[in-house]
Chain A
Amino acid sequence: MQNAKDTFYITLRTRLAAVNPARNITLRSVSRPGILVQDAEAPMIRPLLDAFALSWTGLQADLQLPAILAEMTCEIQYSTAGTAANAGLDRGRALEELDYEVLKLLYPYSAQKMNYTQNPAAAMETMVFWSEPEFGPIVSERDCLSRTAKVTVFAFQDQGES
């Protein structure tokens, strides 16, 4: 299942670099596309603004198929306070831009599963595929607007995959 999670994240990160090259974050002195996996970063008191944070929550598995079908819930959280140049008055527009990017990142709704523990990464036998996003309500806190989009990611377990 970790290969599927890695594939989903890398796919979205690659797509984000193409959809909006300007959306970058700097973490540990490295500038990179503005998307991260929460369980792979140091805990943060407040979310990074204007970036996408993935967190894996639910997990189900169908064991009665020729290969195990894992069904994992990924929550994509993002927040914005708008831009300083506009005194944050554009935070609604900024959130809409993030919403739109989520749609662009997720389509097409599948990717070749890769094993990123190898270098170079190796293509596996099956595809990772996912649902369309289910957008939660806007949450307004102080000067920030936030939203969580929930996606269900599916992956068949490849032979020999741990």
Chain B
Amino acid sequence: MSTSALTPLRALPPVGRTVRAYFAPVDRVHRLPTLFDPSVNGQFSLDAPPAPWIDLGWIENFVRKSTSKFGGLVTGCPSTTQYQVRETVDASVSFRFKAWSKLSMALAAGSQHMNLIVPAAGGAANGSGSKGVAPVNLAAGSTATFLALAASDAATFAAGGLVTVDVDYTAQTGFVGSGVYAAYVSSTTAVNSDPDYIRRVSFNVARVASVSDGANPGLQLAQPLIAGVPAPGMRVQPICGFVDREGGSFFQEWSALFVIPGEQGERILFHYPRLQAVSGASESTTPLVPPLERIALGAAFRALPVTDSNDGEQVVCFRSFLPSFATLV
């Protein structure tokens, strides 16, 4: 038995339209980035990335730069470069997020990204939101997309609202936030021992699709929580939006994957296991019809190293190429 012969094509120049971005959290406590293996998942469906990668859509103005420095080992007279050495390994990547969301805002800002908790009556004004309304407890039976609540608590929420779901701050120090480490708490005094602090910075947020009462009261969420099934002790607070700041001492760190799908079926992937922001919050606009403009989030990152377990080398980025069918390689 034989298969039909392939008629090979000479290697073709890749032609792509734009770049799609995916991000995944880094385990800051154990210093474990999310690694993407192109040999396993390289041809994943762009609309359904493998867990835990989160699709942040098409991006624009994608620019990546190698800023590694090379030095020459010079000997002899007249001197000539005999060997080369890598003095530094460094790389940057920048682009614009087209869509605004909790994640894209947080990534672009690079520091603590806060949820604007619906304020309690009479709270003192504050730039990142004042003291919030009291959180409500979760009941048994919650899932990543359903928050079981007491009927009286569920009645305080409305379809279309936003919620943050996380544990109380109870004097923890170090990285905090469920699903994604959202901030680093150096001391209880730094956060005024605010029991809502973790919910204020948490990435475990969602929009409420509907509120149910009756036998199974709770909130049906329009999107799954990033931390999955709520852990015991998590509580729910309504939020009305998000805020970031120019400043802040915390650096978020994310694993990133950028994909350029080629028109012939080939695929170029750029995987940065560890990215930290190198710029503050910024926006830029694209004119539609004056004075209408589309407002994009500017983002710029520095790549940090990981060790490639295949050879022990310290690298900051992996570029993969999956050729189209039938082209010579």
Measured CB to CB, the residues of A under 8 A from B are 64-66, 71, 129, 131-132, 152, 154
Question: 8 interchain pairs (CB within 8 A)?
Answer: A64-B57, A65-B57, A65-B99, A66-B57, A66-B99, A71-B288, A132-B290, A132-B291
On chain B, the residues within 8 Å of A131 by CB distance are: 288-290, 292
Closest to A125 in B: B160
With an 8 A cutoff between CB atoms, is B28 at the interface?
no
Docked-complex contact A152 and B288, CB < 8 angstroms: yes
With an 8 A cutoff between CB atoms, is B17 at the interface?
yes
With an 8 A cutoff between CB atoms, is B66 at the interface?
no
Measured CB to CB, the residues of B under 8 A from A are 17-18, 57-58, 60, 98-99, 288-292
Decide if the interface of chain B is mainly helix, strand, loop or mixed: loop
With beta carbons under 8 angstroms apart, the residue of A65, A71, A129, A152 that contacts B58 is A65
Q: A64-B57, A131-B290, A131-B292 are in contact. List 20 more A-B contacts (CB 8 A).
A: A64-B17, A64-B18, A64-B58, A64-B60, A65-B57, A65-B58, A65-B98, A65-B99, A66-B57, A66-B99, A71-B288, A71-B289, A129-B292, A131-B288, A131-B289, A132-B290, A152-B289, A152-B292, A154-B288, A154-B292
Docked-complex contact A64 and B98, CB < 8 angstroms: yes
On chain B, the residues within 8 Å of A66 by CB distance are: 57, 98-99
CB B229 to nearest CB in A, in angstroms, measures 25
On chain B, the residues within 8 Å of A129 by CB distance are: 292
Complex: A71 Cα to B17 Cα, angstroms: 20
Decide if the interface of chain A is mainly helix, strand, loop or mixed: loop
Closest to B59 in A: A64
Complex: A77 Cα to B115 Cα, angstroms: 48
Complex: A154 Cα to B292 Cα, angstroms: 10
CB B55 to nearest CB in A, in angstroms, measures 9
On chain B, the residues within 8 Å of A64 by CB distance are: 17-18, 57-58, 60, 98
Closest to A73 in B: B289
Complex: A17 Cα to B60 Cα, angstroms: 44
Closest to B60 in A: A64
Complex: A64 Cα to B56 Cα, angstroms: 11
Complex: A65 Cα to B18 Cα, angstroms: 11
CB A157 to nearest CB in B, in angstroms, measures 14
Complex: A132 Cα to B98 Cα, angstroms: 23
Closest to A65 in B: B98
Complex: A45 Cα to B252 Cα, angstroms: 65
On chain A, the residues within 8 Å of B58 by CB distance are: 64-65
Complex: A60 Cα to B290 Cα, angstroms: 16
Complex: A10 Cα to B18 Cα, angstroms: 37
CB B47 to nearest CB in A, in angstroms, measures 11
CB A17 to nearest CB in B, in angstroms, measures 27
On chain B, the residues within 8 Å of A71 by CB distance are: 288-289
Closest to B19 in A: A64
On chain A, the residues within 8 Å of B18 by CB distance are: 64
On chain A, the residues within 8 Å of B290 by CB distance are: 131-132
CB B57 to nearest CB in A, in angstroms, measures 5
Complex: A66 Cα to B99 Cα, angstroms: 7
On chain A, the residues within 8 Å of B292 by CB distance are: 129, 131, 152, 154
Closest to B160 in A: A125
Most buried by B among A64, A131, A152: A64
